[in-house]
Structure 1
Amino acid sequence: MATYLDFEKPIAELESRVAELRALTQDDESTGLSEEISKLQGRAAQLLAETYGGLNPWQKTTVARHPDRPHCLDYIDQLIERFTPLAGDRYFAEDAAIMGGIGTFRGRPVVVIGHEKGHDTETRIKHNFGMARPEGYRKAVRLMDMADRFAMPVVTLVDTAGAYPGVGAEERGQAEAIARSTDRCLSLGVPMVAVVIGEGGSGGAIAIASANRILMLEHAVYTVASPEAAASILWRDSTRAIDAATSMKITAQDLYELGVIDEIVAEPVGGAHRDKEGAVRRAGDAIAKALAAFDKMSPDEVRKQRHERFLNIGRSL
């Protein structure tokens, strides 16, 4: 059963009506309702395109958080052949909020690292809703070390509300782990492409997104803090999240204009959750194109490009 967001209620009503009429035609093929069904489908499709063509930042935030949106493991399953997951940070424990491993992407060996939120109650708890602890970022550093050693490009899939803020995580050095992961991204001698596939929240996202190329799905968001957290900080009122989302420039379109990201990956009409395979395929095409641009670069040239990319953000703002 489809999950509809608040602003999708008119679309939900039309699609519900179509489903009802289809059920009637199955029971009685002589009802002659095919023309009415066709008209309603056309209206629903038009309304869907119009609605998603004019989403505001808060609406995009809710789309980025949609429970049916494809997550890290969906991308890995469709894009990475012979994927071998690698676990543990070799210091403390395994953190399932960050998944990583090696595999083949369109004939090219790669290291893949990404936040996994989970799809149901059991998997969301297992993956801690995509909020990584220090061991998750230390695992990411370990995998990036391996990528550098064996000259394999790194692809990261960013989808987290932020790093886990629990007491245990802070006691084990959450800030230090994020800083070291960010630093390792910047020092890599192999190309790194990051894709914000849902939420790109705070340092938890930057830790695996300080890449040569940063791509964002059309309805993803990338922000220094969640709108709710920003509203609590600015106005002491988390209910003003809509105001915060509007003011913070968190959408792919805003960030592309500011030069923070390099490319917007178009989503299927109605969002990635309506056509998971199509969304993943488009992201794969964008990743392949981004990696190809670095094929003839030396490790020093790759590092220089990455450093200049981030320095240019400050120079241009």
Structure 2
Amino acid sequence: MTESSSHLDFERPIVTLEKRIEEMEIQAETDGLDLSRELHNLEEKVEKLRKEIYSDLSRWQRVQISRHPQRPYALDYIGRMLTDFTELHGDRHYGDDKSIVGGPARLEGEPIMVVGIQNGRSVEERQMRNFGMPHPEGYRKALRLMQMAAKFNRPILTLVDTSGAFPGIEAEERGQAEAIARNLFEMSHLPVPIVVAI
């Protein structure tokens, strides 16, 4: 990825064509020209190029996409896929870990419980979300939501996007390992379906 843009190096041909389309749209509007045919051809070319590039990515290019700063995070997916989402907060023991978001929602009209790991786009938001690394209270919040889903017989959708649990001393003092282990144990006994998207 270059320093000056948020586009990856292998996306450069697509970006070049998209800039050309943008320039032509401005020119058409400014000069009152009908460039719809040319614009349509360029847009088709962009789609074809996009399919070609993304259908044959190297392993490293896939890693670059997974780390892209503009990739969607949990709240982006929730906002686009789900309706009637109500975010619930806190673990009922210590506090609210903002790196874990979740609550009841509807997927195509069906009630579900969603739990996701949220990162941030700005430095301030990343710090608030602890860079997407949950503390023990985040795991306890997730468990509370999953147990609530079991109580109300709702399937669970989890959206995982993390570099791992927060490795700080304070997290270990508050029971990080136990919180993770309890989640795994409890999840294996929940009577509702769990779908995990990574």
TM-score bracket for this pair, using the shorter chain length: 0.7 to 0.9
Match of 2:7 in 1: 4
Match of 1:14 in 2: 17
- Aligned pairs for 1:230-309 (under 5 A) are none
Deviation at 1:38, TM superposition (A): 4.0
Match of 1:154 in 2: 156
- Aligned pairs for 1:1-317 (under 5 A) are 3-30=6-33, 34-196=36-198
Q: Comparing both structures, which one devotes a greater share of its residues to helix?
A: 1
- Tell me, what secondary structure is at the counterpart of 1:17? helix
Match of 1:216 in 2: none
Aligned-pair identity in percent equals 46
Deviations 1:183-235, CA, capped at 9 Å, x for gaps: 12111111111122xxxxxxxxxxxxxxxxxxxxxxxxxxxxxxxxxxxxxxx
Q: Give the gaps of 5 or more residues in structure 2.
A: none
Question: Counterpart of 1:4 in structure 2: which amino acid?
Answer: H
Deviation at 1:44, TM superposition (A): 2.5
The size of the alignment, in residue pairs, is 194
Deviation at 1:113, TM superposition (A): 0.6
User: Could you state the TM-score of these two structures normalised by the residue count of structure 2?
Assistant: 0.86
User: Could you state the TM-score of these two structures normalised by the residue count of structure 1?
Assistant: 0.56
Q: Give the gaps of 5 or more residues in structure 1.
A: 197-317
- Tell me, what secondary structure is at the counterpart of 2:85? strand
Deviations 1:271-299, CA, capped at 9 Å, x for gaps: xxxxxxxxxxxxxxxxxxxxxxxxxxxxx
- Tell me, what secondary structure is at the counterpart of 1:114? strand
Question: Counterpart of 2:131 in structure 1: which amino acid?
Answer: F
Distance (whole Å) between structure 2 residues aligned to residue 100 and residue 5 of structure 1: 31
Distance (whole Å) between structure 2 residues aligned to residue 52 and residue 26 of structure 1: 32
Distance (whole Å) between structure 2 residues aligned to residue 107 and residue 25 of structure 1: 43
Q: 1:25 to 1:86 in 2, by over 3 A?
A: same
CA RMSD in angstroms comes to: 2.1
Deviations 1:27-84, CA, capped at 9 Å, x for gaps: 1124x65554444333322221110000122211221222332221122223333322
